Structure 1
């Protein structure tokens, strides 16, 4: 499990692509790998990956075909920055919201607004995921736990403060870029349960 509190930015050092499998060597800040071991879970841009090798300040990960299909990992190349978070431990502070590291879909950045001292990003998800978007609801974008600002159809916005921009890759994103999305599990459970009970139709006309 993860908390959605990004612990820093790492750099893709090498990508080796084979049929149905990609291997990534990721370089981390020197002080972020204390106690890491083979088999540990690390979220890279929100995707839970397993450490297969530890080389100094670099970790190696394998991503299978299904992961490459559902996430943006297949588009990563050497030199790209990525958000990372090591798996939460019992007793850790949950500053964001609980995440599994299993990506549901991807979204496209459709607009970037830069008012003074903050940034607003607008995203577009596939239509079938719009039902889980609610103003003030939780969502994870590239592994970062964020609060939805507005939701309009299959589009939603988030507002980023300077600290979030400093600690993540969001400061350098561009319009048209794809990001990983993990829907809040509680929101998904509530929406799906109501749908099974028949409460997902349009509101009645009064």
Structure 2
């Protein structure tokens, strides 16, 4: 009876440990990619990609050079900040640091997308004044052609609304950029201090 109890107990333990291992194996190691963003080069890659988009939009004429310069300066400041934070924290970013940088990169990306959409011209189409009257077979108005022209007009109006919306967003974004640049200028001293701290850390480490 004692031997049977031992066997039952060992079997139960084996099943339980197997279930636990299965559940642990089933759990993703990094479900939200947080660890990858803190320790990997995810943010640095985003900065490099945004620099490439800036150059592309300048060459396509959808982004002015002064706007491109402002965005590049912002990206340079973020890259320097990442380097300082990683050096200070042993090669990783703190969650709040990574979250703040990612939000700023999202804002920079939104600026690029807004500029790309707002500077595209919407063609007025063959009938800028709207669909006209056309004669049908029976001498009356050609209903099918009128419907087709009305659909084209609706599409044109929709494109125009999108352009107007993009222009409005651009105005708001310009205001946001101005405020961001003002805030960035206020933070200039802290950025310079951060670079100085990084240099001091490198000297202390013999680099």
Specify if TM > 0.5. Answer: no
- In the superposition, the TM-score normalised over structure 1's length comes to 0.23
* Structure having the larger proportion of residues in helix: 2
Give 1 or 2 for the bigger CA radius of gyration: 2
- In the superposition, the TM-score normalised over structure 2's length comes to 0.23
* Structure having the larger proportion of residues in strand: 1
